[in-house]
Amino acid sequence: NTAATNLVNKLHAIDNDTYYFDSYSTFHIHEIMLRDAVRTQSYASAIAAMDMTDKVVLDVGCGTGILSLLCLKQGAKLVVGVDNSEPMILAAKAVARENGIAVATEP
């Protein structure tokens, strides 16, 4: 039955989306990613190679905000970090404040 198959596929897609977003909403996965020196250094090197002077950056899925911070240190005039997880948004704001970066609140 095509309708039943479509429904099952839609439920799987919803479940996959939920799993994906839930998996990034805790500190555990972010700790693993930050401890991955090759991964973190690759991002840092890529950002360092870019001229970000006076650029505006949108960091979608900003997590702890580490990449946002690297963009600011590279000269971006504004970085907007967006995340689906409230704990990660709070963490990113804390990281920014601890590094002397002004944090705006949501409109």
HSE value, Cβ hemisphere, 13 Å, CA-based, for 70: 17
| Domain presence at residue 107 | no
| Nearest residue to 54 (alpha-carbon basis) of 79, 76, 32 | 76
| Domain presence at residue 106 | no
CATH of the domain at 64: 3.40.50.150
31-41: pLDDT as tens digits: 887 788 998 89
Number of domains in the chain: 1
| Buried/exposed code over 51-90 (b: 16+ C-beta within 10 A; e: otherwise) | ebeeeebebeebbbbbbbbbbbebebeebebebebeebbe
Mean pLDDT of 71-92: 93
**Which residue range is the domain that position 91 belongs to?**
2-98
**Is the model's pLDDT at 12 over the cut of 70?**
no
| Domain presence at residue 105 | no
The amino acid that residue 82 corresponds to is: V
CA 100 to chain centre: 19
Instruction: Write down the pLDDT at residue 81.
Output: 94
On average, the pLDDT of the chain sits at 85
At 60, phi and psi to the nearest 5? -85, 125
Q: Identify whether the C-beta of residue 89 lies closer than 8 Å to the C-beta of residue 83.
A: yes
